[in-house]
Amino acid sequence: MNTDPGYNHLTINNDITITDIPRNVIDLYETVPWHHLNSAVAGGITRNSIIYGIRNYMPRGDSSNIGRSYYVRNYNAGTYEDYQPPWDEQLPNGELVFRDLPLFANFSRHDDLDEGIIEIASYLRTLDFGPRENDTSRVILHFTDSYVYDDGSPEYGFGIEGPSMTGALLALRFRIFQPDTLTSVEIYFNRAYNDYNQTLPFRLCVWKDGGGKPGELIYISEESYFPKFSQGKPGFTLYPVLAPEDINVTDSIIYVGWKQQTDEFLNIGYDVNNNNLSRTFVNTAGEWISPGGSLIPGTIMMRAVFGRRGIITGENEIPESGDNITVYPNPVSSILYIYSVEDIANVSIVDISGRTVLKQKGNFTGIDISALSPGLYQVIISTGTELPVVRKILVRH
């Protein structure tokens, strides 16, 4: 923001500018798990248009033909596609107008990486006048392991509070495009005054579809979780789904959320640039309802995380496995054994915050994890000949 006196502000005349980034490029979601992208595209998820907000600051009586274009850059594939349709037009002076273009870009995955990056930029083809920097806007989509409705930035907070709200349920509906294992839930909590909401417990929940509303409860965490905040830039906290067995989602619809253990405001982030109230449900008196028109349209900032997870056995025998590396027992309390057809180069164990807590090099069959705190960890195993293999383990003492 320019805090100088008004007479020092720059006045822009004779300019035509684009006013917003390309939004809702993918229908329904902002991004989906990278490994689900091809299935999602086959299911019709990509939109057929890009929306342009354009403001014409040209003096009244002056006009020029304005063209709309866009490009798509796939960082994984190294491809760049530029679309410049010959559809120019004269726009009204001094007004904000909205136009669209068909989206012909090919969204697809052609690799086995865990993350994909696609850049989409919309730009105006104008004559050589006015600042050119505001003729282009872009968005970079990071496809990781989550189904994402929000844009990553909260404008408000959402919660359920009031007398008798202890035990209230909140659920968000997700449409899944291929069978996979639900491993965790990412939640963005707003920081309250004096971090007050950091002391408010909740339990993670997962439901099946019940005819357009949450149905059968298939998981509720034994542990209580609490809102967490990073010390630097605000962000999401990963809450693991610590079910005794994998939650393998084969149905196309699933609901994730919480059961709160107080009657106070948990203050989850709320994004008003995307409206998913129709997929949001609360239960305060034994019946699921959608908040609908009672709130500002928006999206609670909760994400469903999918991916492979280690086999949960609890036995000391080597479990059957369809690949070349197996870890056991799981859950584990002291020695974690690793069976590998190839020699092991190194093993790293990473906690749910992404911090490496244990590392061991050289070929071996067991690693002592007795000093680790109980919880969910990732075991990253490298043999030196192929991509590292990742397994999830549950440490219990």
Rounded to whole angstroms, the Cα distance separating 228 from 216 reads 28
The number of beta carbons lying within 10 Å of the beta carbon of residue 192 is: 19
Q: What is the mean pLDDT of residues 39-60?
A: 84
The number of beta carbons lying within 10 Å of the beta carbon of residue 11 is: 6
**78 CB-near residues (< 8 Å, 6+ apart):** none
The residue among 105, 191, 106 whose CA lies nearest residue 154 is 191
Which stretch of DSSP H or E encloses residue 269?
strand 268-271
Of 295 and 226, the one with more pLDDT: 226
Q: Which of 29-38, 179-188, 204-213, 286-295 has the lowest mean pLDDT?
A: 286-295
Identity of residue 356: T
Q: In what order do the strands lie in the sheet containing 389-395? A: 356-361, 346-351, 375-382, 389-395
pLDDT band at 211 (very low <50, low <70, confident <90, very high): very high
Most confidently modeled range among 206-215, 344-353, 374-383: 206-215
The number of beta carbons lying within 10 Å of the beta carbon of residue 134 is: 15
Query: Does the pLDDT value for residue 37 go beyond 90?
Result: yes
Mean per-residue pLDDT over the chain, rounded: 85
Query: Does the pLDDT value for residue 192 go beyond 90?
Result: no
Rounded to whole angstroms, the Cα distance separating 392 from 190 reads 29
Report how far Cα 185 is from the mean position of its chain's Cα atoms: 9
CATH architecture type of domain 156-306: Sandwich (2.60)
Give residue-wise pLDDT tens across range 300-320. 999 999 985 433 333 333 343
Per the CB < 8 A criterion, the answer to whether 76 and 109 are in contact is yes
Query: Does the pLDDT value for residue 216 go beyond 70?
Result: yes
Rounded to whole angstroms, the Cα distance separating 376 from 293 reads 39
What is the predicted pLDDT for the residue at 130?
58
What is the predicted pLDDT for the residue at 105?
80
CATH architecture type of domain 325-395: Sandwich (2.60)
156-306 and 6-144 share a CATH fold:
no
Q: What percent of the chain has pLDDT over 90?
A: 40
| Residue 1 burial class via C-beta count within 10 angstroms: exposed 0-12, middle 13-18, buried 19 and up | exposed
Give residue-wise pLDDT tens across range 325-365. 888 888 888 899 888 888 888 898 988 766 789 999 887 77
Domain ranges of the chain: 6-144, 156-306, 325-395
Q: What percent of the chain has pLDDT over 70?
A: 88
What is the predicted pLDDT for the residue at 195?
85
Query: Does the pLDDT value for residue 123 go beyond 80?
Result: yes
**φ/ψ (deg, to 5) at 213:** -135, 165
Query: Does the pLDDT value for residue 16 go beyond 60?
Result: yes
**φ/ψ (deg, to 5) at 40:** -65, -40
- Alpha-carbon distances, residue 123 vs 25, 89, 188, 379 (angstroms): 15, 14, 32, 44
What is the predicted pLDDT for the residue at 377?
84
Rounded to whole angstroms, the Cα distance separating 244 from 305 reads 17
For every residue of 299-348, DSSP letters joined together read EE-EEEEE---------SSPPP-SSSEEEESSSBSSEEEEEESSPP-EEE
What is the predicted pLDDT for the residue at 91?
81
Q: Which of 224-233, 285-294, 343-352 has the lowest mean pLDDT?
A: 224-233
The fold of 6-144 is Immunoglobulin-like (2.60.40)
Give residue-wise pLDDT tens across range 133-178. 788 999 999 999 999 999 999 999 999 999 989 999 999 999 999 9
Rounded to whole angstroms, the Cα distance separating 17 from 342 reads 58
pLDDT band at 376 (very low <50, low <70, confident <90, very high): confident
Query: Does the pLDDT value for residue 281 go beyond 90?
Result: yes
What is the predicted pLDDT for the residue at 210?
95
Of 390 and 221, the one with more pLDDT: 221
What is the predicted pLDDT for the residue at 314?
35
pLDDT band at 78 (very low <50, low <70, confident <90, very high): confident
Rounded to whole angstroms, the Cα distance separating 221 from 240 reads 9
What is the predicted pLDDT for the residue at 383?
82
Query: Does the pLDDT value for residue 287 go beyond 80?
Result: yes
